[in-house]
């Protein structure tokens, strides 16, 4: 059984991580119209998911009137194909998806935890965090605590991705436990951050490495079943 620690939840999930991603949007590549200035300008708002309920809508006199649409988050979508590899819902709850250049996430403050592992991991393959994208699927619901990530490194096998990330983590003082065939045909790594006791699951398939962060063992299993 994989143990979970509630210490990983603050600043990794929900609104906190979305704030981090929004801060990194300026470094994201976009698939839509070219921005007016600079190749990494903040992309235009995309109706990716609803945020907090609108506070500006005046109540209607008619009880049958439709609700005012909620505002949307201007999240980046640098790699929609990579986003599609992540589940759209978990535990019956819809997830918000976004993607950006990995450097846009890894260099946002605070630079700690997993953010410190990506550069030494990618250098093994002759890459930097500016060369690859990262996609997120995040729950902002009170019903579940969940986040999944996907990083594609073209030309690198699943075994090398996982082994390289485990090596970078161990060198940084993380505890790494391997679970071979945790689910049929799917081997995973259980990784613990020594600074926070945060626990994450790493799984690789093809040339994509996936990370799962949740406090619910059932959601780990569901996510692994849904992932390629």
68-81, pLDDT tens digit by residue? 443 456 788 999 99
Q: Which of 37-46, 176-185, 213-222 comes out lowest in average pLDDT?
A: 37-46
Residue 12, pLDDT above cutoff 50: no
Query: Could you give the CA distance from residue 122 to residue 129 in angstroms, rounded to a whole number?
Result: 7
**pLDDT classification of 192: cutoffs 50, 70, 90:** very high
- Mean pLDDT across 203-223: 97
Three-state secondary-structure class, residue 183: strand
107-119, pLDDT tens digit by residue? 988 899 999 999 9
Strands 208-214 and 199-205, bridge-based pairing: antiparallel
Q: Which of 23-32, 80-89, 184-193 comes out lowest in average pLDDT?
A: 23-32
Stated pTM of the model: 0.74
Helix ranges, the chain (H): 14-24, 80-83, 102-106, 118-122, 158-171, 217-226
Which tokens hold the place of 57? 């809508």
β-pair partners for 149: 136, 211
Q: Which of 98, 74, 72, 100 is nearest to 84 (CA)?
A: 98
What dihedral angle (degrees, nearest 10) is formed by the CA atoms of 29, 88, 178, 109?
A: 40
CA-angle at 219, arms to 218 and 223, nearest 5°: 125
| Cis status of the peptide bond prior to 110, with omega within 30 of 0 | yes
Domain boundaries defined on the chain? 6-31+73-226
Residue 139 and residue 95 in contact, taking contact as beta carbons nearer than 8 Å: yes
Q: Report the Cα 37 to chain-centroid distance in Å.
A: 27
**Long-range contacts formed by 217-220: CB under 8 A, 24+ apart:** 217/1, 217/2, 217/4, 218/91, 219/90, 219/91, 219/144, 219/146, 220/2
């Amino acid at each position: 059984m994989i143990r979970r620690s509630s210490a990983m939840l603050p600043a990794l999930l929900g609104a906190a991580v979305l704030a981090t991603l929004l801060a990194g949007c300026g470094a994201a590549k976009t698939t839509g119209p070219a921005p007016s200035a600079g190749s990494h300008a903040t992309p235009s708002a995309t109706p990716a998911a609803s945020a907090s309920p609108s506070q500006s809508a005046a109540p209607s006199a008619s009880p049958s009137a439709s609700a005012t649409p909620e505002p949307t988050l201007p999240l980046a979508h640098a790699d929609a194909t990579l986003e599609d590899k992540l589940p759209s819902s978990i535990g019956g709850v819809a997830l918000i998806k976004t993607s950006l250049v990995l450097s846009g996430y890894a260099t946002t403050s605070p630079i700690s935890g997993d953010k410190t592992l990506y550069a030494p991991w990618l250098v093994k393959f002759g890459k930097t965090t500016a060369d690859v994208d990262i996609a997120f699927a995040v729950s902002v619901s009170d019903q579940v605590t969940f986040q999944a990530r996907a990083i594609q490194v073209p030309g690198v096998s699943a075994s090398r991705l996982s082994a390289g990330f485990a090596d970078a983590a161990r060198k940084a003082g993380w505890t790494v436990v391997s679970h071979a065939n945790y689910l049929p045909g799917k081997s995973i790594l259980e990784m613990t951050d020594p600074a926070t006791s945060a626990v994450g699951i790493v799984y690789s398939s093809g040339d994509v490495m996936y990370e799962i962060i949740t406090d619910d063992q059932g959601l780990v299993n569901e996510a692994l079943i849904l992932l390629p």
